[in-house]
Amino acid sequence: MKRSYSRANMPDPPTGGSQTELPFSSGEVEAFWSRVASNRYEQANKQLHSTHIQRFAISVPRLKIPSNGRLLNLWSRQGEALPHIRARFPVADVENAEISRTMLEQARERFPGEKFRETDLQTLSYSDDYFDGILSLEMLEHSPSPQRILREMCRVLKAGGQLVLTCPSAAIEPHLWFADRFLGNHGEGPHRFPSTSLVKKMLRNAGLTLIDHRSTLFVPEELGPVHRLNPLLERAFQWFPASELGIRQLYEARK
């Protein structure tokens, strides 16, 4: 029987607002993304091109690491962020970590000069105080242990190191339903979109200090000219609860 992964199928987070263990495994996440990597991922990203690449446009320019520093690209998928990263940091030591074995193979073929390794999105096989920065795009909602992976990110960051993270908010599950059915999206598989308040709490619990949070992408460009309202909406709706309606939430934190 096909398993549904909508938010409605999942139990509420544990009491106290902590999101520690979710009811899906790393194996289930890996299986889903390896499956869509083979037949749906690239096609869907072409159909939703502007929405897909917006994550790179808002996140990579935020990175402030030494030109030859160490950067972790956590959940690198097929390596789509690498051209954006390399345009800004051509000589940085970039480590790319990905859960899908199929996507790892695809990325290694496309970027043979880059470094890739497998991750379970719960632990990181790097030494303490190793990275100057971490870029983590649309990963947190797919980790079976989001609080644990944030603590891992804090552990491998150097003192003063920077985390730039994007993650959808819980309020946009209806957007996902619409995109899956009418805009050709590839689906999200096992996930739980956290509220912005929960992400901020988990960042604090992990030992990270929030520097900035921005709610972005209220209207996807694929919906037509109405997307031109985005700059106005992004300026106007930066407070709770209106900020929850931004499809992509951007967080910048430091250790």
Going along the chain from its start, the domains and CATH numbers come out as: 41-254 (3.40.50.150)
C-alpha 220/C-alpha 54 separation (Å) is 10
What pLDDT is stored for residue 86 in this prediction?
98
What pLDDT is stored for residue 14 in this prediction?
38
Q: Running DSSP on this structure, what letter comes out for residue 227?
A: G
C-alpha 79/C-alpha 77 separation (Å) is 5
What pLDDT is stored for residue 71 in this prediction?
99
List of the chain residues with pLDDT < 70: 1-19, 179-180, 182-184
Q: Is the peptide bond before 241 cis (omega within 30 degrees of 0)?
A: yes
- Burial class (CB within 10 angstroms; exposed 0-12, middle 13-18, buried 19+) of 9: exposed
Report residue 11 as tokens.
């139990």
- Burial class (CB within 10 angstroms; exposed 0-12, middle 13-18, buried 19+) of 119: buried
C-alpha 72/C-alpha 55 separation (Å) is 16
Let me know: does 242 contact 218? Beta carbons within 8 Å: no
What pLDDT is stored for residue 27 in this prediction?
98
What pLDDT is stored for residue 11 in this prediction?
36
